[in-house]
Each structure stands twice: as C-alpha cells, then as structure tokens.
C-alpha cells in the first residue's frame, strides 16, 4: 500500500501528489492479468511538465498553463474563492443550491461511498481518487475561508487546509478524475453526493475562471453552438453524410430509406449524437430502417445544434447546458413535432429530458422521450417481423449511467434483448448498480496528453473486468460476442478500451448499439447486419 | 433555579430555534434542477429494479402517482436498521447501529420521562418519603425508563467506543477525520458513560422524574447529586451543540432523500412548478467567465437564450 496522502497535503507543493504504478492497479481477469502485457501510460512530455500544471498525478485532463507570476497566482486563487462564494448564492446557483448545501453540511465521513467508486477501486485505492477526497478539500476551504470565524472554528471542526495556487490547480485537475457516475451517492446513507460536488467544482472553474478541458468547451459546446455540432459538421455536411448512410443501408439490407429532414408536423424529432454519424454510421442507418419499417412519422432537424444531441454543458457549465437545450427545444418547436426522441446517447438523454426539464418552460417545454421506449414499442408492435435466431450469439448489456441510474430507464432495452437475443446475459452488477464505462462526464472524448491512457488504464478498468467476466463461459476469441452499449459516449470509451487491451482479438468481443441488434434480427434483412469481422 | 436547569432550558430553546431555522432555510432554497437517483421510492411499481416513469414512451400524457407510503417503507429500515450501511459498509454497521440505537433509546427516554414527569412527578416525592405508591401506569413508566436508560447507555457506549476505534484504525476513515470528528464521538461517549455512572449511583429514574417534573412545572430542581449533575451538564451541552454540526442529518435526510434523490416531478406547462422556475430564471447572474456574458443585470434566461435571440435577428 502506498503512503498516505492526507487532505491537507493537496496544498503542499511537490512534484506530484500521487504517482501510480501499473502494479498498484486492481488486477484484471485473464487473459489481461499479466502486468508486463498491459500498455500502461506514456509519460508526460517535457514541454507539458515545464509549462503546465502537472503536480496532481501522472496525467493531465485540462492542461492549465502555469501562472507566470505570483500576482497571477494570487489573482487566480481570488477568482476561485469568489466562484465558490457564488456557488453558494441563490441567484447564481439556484440550479443546484439545495443539494449542494446538503452535501456541504451533513457528511458523516463514514466512507461508505468509497467502496462504490470504480475509479478509487480500480486505482488500487489511491487516496486522492477517493470520492470524499475532493469533497473534503472543498468543504475545508468553504468552512475555513467563507464562513465567519472559519479560521478558528472551521479548522477545528472540519480540519485544516491552506488555500494557495497549488491547491486550486490540483483541485481543478482532480475535478476531472471523477466520471460523475454518482454510484457513490447511491450508497451514501445520508444522501451526500460527491459526484455533485465534483460537478459544482467544475462549474466554478468554467463559469467563474473560464477554465475547462478544451474538448468540452471550445471544441465542444462552443463549436456546437457556432457550427451546429461538436464534430464540426455543418448542416450541409451532415445532410450529405446521412444521404451516404441511407445509400449504404440500401446496399447492405436492400431496404430503401430516405431520412427526412426538417419535416414540419412530424410526430417525432429524432436527435442523434452526431458522433454516431461519423464513427458508427450503422446506428443512425439502423434507426432509419426501423422507423421507416414501423411507419413512424419522423424527421431530423438541420438547425444549428439540433442535429447533434450532445450537451457537454451537463458536465461543467449550467449556462452552456441551458443554451444547447434551448436550441434543441427551439428546433422541435419550429417543426411543430409532438415529441423529441433522444437516440442512443446517455448524456443527451439526461441533459434534455431530466436536467433541462426545469429550464425549458412555456412552448419550449416539448415532451422528450427515450429511444429505448420508442424502440420497445416498435419491436413489440408486430409491425416488423423478427427472427431471434439471427442473434444467437452471447450478448451482454452495458447500462449507461445517465440513462439508467440517473433516469431509471432500465427495462425497455432489456425486454428487447430478452426477446431478440437468445443468449442475452447480464453483467454484474447491472441496472442502476452498474459501473460507469470509465468515459463518463466527457472523459470519452478527452484524449489530450496522456489522459486517454489514464482513462483506459484506470477509469475504464472496472468496466473491462465486468465485460470479460460476463462472457466467462465463452472466453475463446472464436466465439463471437456482442456488448450492447446504447450510448455514443460509452461506445467511444469502449472502442478505445477494446483497442488498448486488444479485446476483439483476445476475447472475440465487439461492441455496438441496441438498434443494430434489432435490425440484425429482422426477417426482411437477408444478410447479417452486424458484421463481427468488420466492426472495430 | 439551578444552573443545570437554566442550562437545560437554554439548550432546548437553542436546539429548537436553530433546528427549525435551519429546516425553514433549507426548505426555502430555490427549486433545483432535477437530480434524482434511482431507485426512487415513491414509484412503488418500479422501485424494486430502479425504473422510472420515463420507461414509457407516452409518460407525459399520464398522471404520475407518488406513494408517500413507498417512501416511508424505505426510510424506516434506513433510519432504524441503518440498511444502507448494512448493505454497503458491513464492517461499520455493528458500531454505527449500536451507536444509533443508543441515541434513539435516550431520545425516546426523553419523551417517556416527560410523560413520567406529568403522571408520576407530583407523587414521586411522596413515594420516596414512604407515603403512597405508584399507580400501575406509573410503575410501567418507571420500569420502562430504567430499561431504556440502562440499554441506551450500555449499547450506546459499545457503539461509540467501537466507532472511535474504527475511525482511528481504518485507513479510509482516519484519512478524512478531523479533530471535530473525534470530538463529536468523545462527546457522545461522555453522555453514555456518564449515564451509566449516574445509573449506578442509585435511584436514577426517581431522580430523572424529579428533574423532568421540575423542568415541566418550572419549579426549582432539587439537588440530585453529583453523578446526575455531570450527566445532565454533558447532555445539556450536547443538545446545545448538536444543531451546529453535521448531526442534523437526522432531520435533513428528509431533504436529501425526499427533495433531491427522489425528487422527479416533471415540469408541466402551466403548472405551479413552471411558474416558480420562471421566477428563478429571472435571477440576475454575476458569474465572471467571459463566455457567460453576465453583467449582473442580465438574468439566467437572458443568458441561456442568447443563442436563440441571435438567430432571430
Ligand atoms: S458522502 Fe456519505 S457515505 Fe461518503 S463519507 Fe460522507 S456520509 Fe459517508
Ligand atoms: S461519481 Fe462515480 S467516479 Fe465520481 S467519485 Fe462518485 S463513484 Fe467515483
């Protein structure tokens, strides 16, 4: 066991607060158990070490430039503190004030939550990744620096901490070592939410200090609001791409589909995560086939942001979240659709359906439903004929945290899989107790410096273990197996995870969405829709 | 009036006023964005597996039913059996459970003794002096109080000492413990242990009933001995101190569970909830990152709809 890192150590300048070795990490099941065969992580470049804040651990998620002068450091610390203060006011933070205050005041420090955290467990229980570590740092700062008499009472009752630039820079990075999966919150007997605290800290850094990982901000929500999608596709490009996909679907399945754009008065406005269109075109293609075959009146929208369901603000900035959600709702309002259906993207589900629910008022408040439920209706409607024997290979299901633990959409996808996949089996734990894929809260799209290595070696480790164990009756690579992950971000993480560990070669497992399994089981499709050899 | 009596009145007053104020303050914080966590207990039908109304494609056309009974059914084992700790932190459970049972018994004893003070208080002095005897109900209260006192203090002592040892030896717990964490435990241990000492000093329940009788009738409290005084002062100080600590979770759990974890009310057009949200959307914002574009005058809605307005121009 490594030497302890105490809460107050975060303020003490050193080269690294924690250093991880591969053999510290949670062991993996065979054939991934040999430490010498595990890829590990690249060292940070000299340039990064020299110019960026790298003193938390072995990686960086944000890449905060080192302040040049002490004045600059002081200014940043001051800003951080003013942000913390705003976080505790009704006007600036009505969105989360109540749950935040509850989490500020009532933690019993029992550490029940620590056992639930996949990052803490997978890291071999490194102190700084404990769900309560960053929460305690925050609590101590608030009690010492923002409460009357805090320098004496706050210190005494909550413990000491020094607020300096080292503390702020490390805390900033540390707020990106948690996937906001909220598994810890689920186990807290009091109802304290360490995931929420991480979320709120990220907000201080973004909303007050203007600091966030560029993949989430500049290349994420900002690009989406400017161009239409974080993929950089404008409306013309996305339409072209969908046209290609329609053609491919015809070649592959013989079924002619014409994805409708901007159809006024349609029943359903379907919103995909636009990443699907580029990375997994068979997913939007399969949606088009199923919706057409079921006779659903549907459309896509070519309005800015409305052809991309992502909403990265969910993870770091309430205002970016609100702006994007309003653009989604506006497109639906303009077309006069009855409902928005969010396709296979977990965070898009939660952002638009649940979190933005109390932002969208008046005629922006258009019903939002999950594609899981629409697909279930279609599969059991009798409008499409299925032959489940076409899916007669081992299938397991990954539960995206946003869709399942945080929205309670648990059964529709399972009812489909139990019906269409004779060898469906659950991984353990599953449903609302699932483990995050390790790519949650933006990690799946964050790959700067060596962050990708960290998210695959550490934050995705628990998921890999679960997946391998779900198929332990058929470990041989010759038996083709399917991991169903009805979420774009999870798929992004799984794609990287599978490549990193060579899962397809070593275990014969591929990953994909839910709708692909539905199309694969359709009687009308002559050749398999899911191609185990081509998928990657 | 004795110092002890004044201390107890002050403690009770501060306890009530502070806790009620904290409750009201928490209740009047703005309505937050939905942040529920499944399973949600009032959805009785789907609680078992953690499902929600969002599992239906036409959820927005249906009236949603929330079962308060469903929530109570989950909260009771949580409060009295510490079910969450049992499920997720078994090695802590025995100590936490005995600690809480000790506190629950002593808290319940307060109410039994209030009853005792009213029913047998006037008589207790006579009985002690050798006239008359206690009524049946009086005897029941007397015996029950005795049992609760001894069980509460003994079980509570075991739990608290167990928690102190666990906290100081467990790597995870000791890493996040502060002076305050131990102080609270030692404080509570002192209540239990001084309670045991008081109990063995003789006629403890009679003394307690006299104490409560004096408190209820605002009559001067007789001298009830040193052991009583120590126990009463420690308990009084604790009652005074508790509202300023995290231990108010005993009632704040109403918010953490009912108002956050299980708060899944959808926003319906034209509803009271929508009106409240619209009001909150008009709060002025002062966040200072450049992309927020706040100036202290623009409100939340102005900022969030900026992009839409840009298109309209
Ligand atoms: S967050 Fe909850 S489970 Fe974790 S230490 Fe605090 S009270 Fe215990
Ligand atoms: S939200 Fe998830 S990743 Fe973050 S601390 Fe909790 S359990 Fe760990």
Which candidate, B51, B190, B296, B129, places its Cα nearest to that of A405?
B51
Sequence spans of domains, chain A: 7-208, 217-377, 386-520
Tokens 């800015």 belong to residue: A304
Q: What is the pLDDT of residues B169-182, one digit of tens each?
A: 999 999 989 999 99
Task: Report the pocket of ligand 1 as residue ranges, CB < 6 Å.
Answer: A 107-113, 132, 188, 190, 192, 194
A152, with CB counted inside 10 A (0-12, 13-18, 19+), is exposed
Who among B33, B84, B292 is closest to A95 (CB)?
Answer: B33
What structural domains does chain B harbor? Answer: 3-30+65-261 (1.20.950.20)
Which candidate, B49, B73, B20, B194, places its Cα nearest to that of A413?
B49
Who among B55, B267, B283 is closest to A412 (CB)?
Answer: B55
ipTM of the complex: 0.95
Asked if the model's pLDDT at residue A408 lies above 60, the reply is: yes
Answer for the pair B288, B295: CB distance below 8 angstroms, yes or no.
no
Chain A positions in Cβ-Cβ contact with residue B48 (cut-off 8 Å): none
Do A405 and B56 make contact, defined as CB atoms within 8 angstroms? no
> DSSP string covering B212-243, please?
HHHHHHTPPPPP--HHHHHHHHHHHHHHHHGG
- For the domain made up of A217-377, the CATH class stated in words is mainly alpha
Residue of B304, B306, B308, B312 for testing the chain A interface, max A β-carbons within 10 Å: B304
Do B287 and A102 make contact, defined as CB atoms within 8 angstroms? no
For residue A125, the model assigns a pLDDT of: 95
> 3-state class of A431 per DSSP?
helix
Regarding beta strands A339-342 and A368-370, do their DSSP bridges make them parallel or antiparallel, or are they unpaired?
Answer: parallel
> DSSP string covering A276-327, please?
HHHH-THHHHHHHHHHHHTT--EEB--STTTT----THHHH-HHHHHHHHHH
More confident residue, A535 or B234: B234
Return d(Cα A316, Cα A200) in angstroms, integer: 8
Q: What is the pLDDT of residues B78-99, one digit of tens each?
A: 999 999 999 999 999 999 999 9
Does the beta carbon of A497 lie inside 6 Å of ligand 2? no
For residue B312, the model assigns a pLDDT of: 63
For residue A3, the model assigns a pLDDT of: 74
Kind plus residue range of the DSSP H or E element containing A340: strand A339-342
Asked if the model's pLDDT at residue B131 lies above 80, the reply is: no
Banded model confidence at residue B311, pLDDT cuts 50, 70, 90 = low
CA angle B11, B16, B17 (to 5 degrees): 100
Q: Which range among B81-90, B286-295, B303-312 shows the weakest confidence by mean pLDDT?
A: B303-312
Who among B29, B36, B57 is closest to A369 (CB)?
Answer: B57
């Amino acid at each position: 066991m490594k030497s302890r890192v105490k809460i107050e150590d975060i303020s003490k300048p050193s080269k690294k607060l924690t250093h991880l070795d591969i053999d510290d990490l949670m062991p993996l099941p065979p054939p991934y158990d040999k430490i010498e065969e595990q890829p590990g992580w690249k060292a940070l470049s000299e340039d990064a070490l020299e110019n960026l804040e790298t003193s938390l651990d072995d990686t960086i998620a944000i890449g905060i430039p080192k302040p040049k002068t002490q004045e600059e450091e002081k200014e940043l610390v001051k800003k951080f503190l003013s942000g913390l203060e705003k976080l505790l006011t009704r006007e600036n933070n009505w969105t989360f004030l109540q749950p935040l205050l509850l989490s500020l005041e009532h933690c019993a420090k029992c550490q029940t939550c620590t056992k639930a955290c996949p990052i803490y467990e997978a890291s071999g229980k490194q102190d700084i990744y404990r769900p309560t570590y960053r929460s305690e740092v925050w609590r101590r700062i608030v009690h010492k620096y923002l409460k009357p008499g805090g320098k004496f009472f706050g210190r005494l009752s909550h413990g000491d901490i020094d607020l300096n630039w080292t503390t702020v820079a490390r805390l900033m990075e540390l707020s990106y070592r948690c996937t906001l999966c909220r598994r810890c919150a689920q186990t807290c007997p009091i109802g304290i939410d360490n995931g929420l605290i991480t979320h709120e800290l990220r907000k201080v850094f973004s909303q007050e200090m203007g600091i966030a990982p560029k993949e989430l901000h500049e290349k994420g929500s900002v690009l989406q609001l400017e161009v239409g999608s974080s993929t950089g596709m404008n409306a013309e490009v996305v339409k072209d791409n969908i046209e290609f996909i329609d053609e491919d679907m015809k070649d592959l399945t013989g079924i002619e589909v014409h994805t409708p754009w901007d159809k006024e008065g349609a029943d359903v406005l379907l919103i995909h995560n636009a990443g699907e269109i580029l990375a997994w075109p068979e997913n939007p293609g399969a949606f088009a086939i199923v919706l057409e075959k079921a006779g659903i009146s549907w459309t896509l929208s070519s309005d800015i942001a409305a052809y991309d369901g992502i909403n990265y603000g969910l993870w770091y900035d309430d205002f970016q979240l609100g702006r994007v959600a309003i653009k989604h709702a506006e497109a639906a309002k303009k077309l006069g659709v009855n409902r928005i259906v969010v396709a296979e993207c977990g965070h898009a589900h939660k952002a638009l359906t649940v979190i933005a629910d109390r932002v969208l008022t008046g005629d922006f408040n258009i019903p939002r439903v999950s594609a899981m439920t629409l697909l279930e209706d279609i599969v059991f409607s009798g409008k499409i004929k299925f032959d489940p024997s076409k899916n007669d290979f081992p299938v397991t299901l990954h539960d995206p945290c946003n869709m399942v633990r945080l929205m309670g959409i648990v059964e529709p996808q399972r009812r489909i899989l139990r019906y269409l996949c004779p060898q469906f089996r659950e991984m353990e734990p599953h449903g609302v107790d699932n483990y995050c894929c390790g790519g949650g809260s933006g990690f799946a799209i964050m790959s700067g410096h060596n962050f990708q290595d960290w998210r695959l070696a550490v934050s995705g480790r628990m998921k890999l273990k679960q997946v391998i164990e779900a198929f332990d009756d058929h470990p041989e690579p010759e038996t083709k197996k399917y991991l169903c992950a009805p979420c774009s971000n999870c798929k992004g993480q799984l794609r990287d995870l599978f490549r990193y560990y060579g899962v397809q070669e070593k275990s014969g497992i591929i990953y994909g969405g839910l709708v692909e399994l539905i199309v694969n089981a359709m009687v009308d499709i002559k050749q398999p829709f899911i191609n185990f050899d081509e998928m990657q | 009036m004795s110092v002890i009596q004044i201390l107890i009145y002050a403690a009770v007053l501060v306890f009530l006023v502070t806790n009620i104020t904290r409750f009201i303050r928490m209740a009047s914080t703005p309505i937050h964005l939905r942040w529920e966590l499944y399973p949600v207990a009032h959805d009785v039908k789907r609680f078992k597996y953690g499902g929600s109304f969002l599992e239906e494609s036409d959820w927005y056309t249906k009236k949603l039913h929330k079962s308060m009974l469903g929530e109570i059914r989950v909260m009771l084992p949580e409060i009295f059996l510490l079910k969450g700790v049992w499920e997720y932190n078994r090695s802590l459970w025995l100590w936490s459970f005995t600690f809480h049972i000790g506190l629950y018994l002593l808290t319940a004893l307060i109410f039994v003794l209030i009853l005792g003070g009213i029913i047998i208080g006037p008589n207790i002095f006579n009985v002690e002096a050798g006239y008359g005897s206690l009524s049946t109900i009086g005897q029941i209260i007397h015996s029950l109080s005795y049992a609760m006192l001894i069980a509460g203090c003994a079980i509570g002592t075991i739990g608290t000492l167990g928690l102190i040892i666990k906290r100081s030896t467990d790597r995870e717990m000791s890493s996040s413990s502060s002076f305050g964490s131990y102080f609270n435990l030692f404080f509570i241990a002192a209540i239990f242990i001084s309670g045991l000492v008081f109990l063995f000093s003789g006629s403890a329940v009679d003394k307690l009933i006299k104490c409560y009788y004096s408190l209820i009738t605002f009559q001067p409290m007789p001298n009830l001995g040193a052991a009583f005084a120590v126990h009463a002062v420690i308990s009084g100080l604790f009652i005074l101190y508790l509202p300023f600590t995290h231990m108010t979770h005993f009632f704040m759990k109403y918010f953490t569970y009912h108002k956050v974890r299980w708060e899944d009310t959808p926003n319906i057009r034209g509803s009271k909830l929508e009106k409240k949200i619209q009001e909150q959307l008009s709060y002025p914002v002062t966040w200072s990152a450049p992309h927020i574009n706040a100036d202290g005058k623009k409100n939340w809605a102005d900022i969030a709809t900026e992009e839409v307005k840009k298109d309209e121009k």
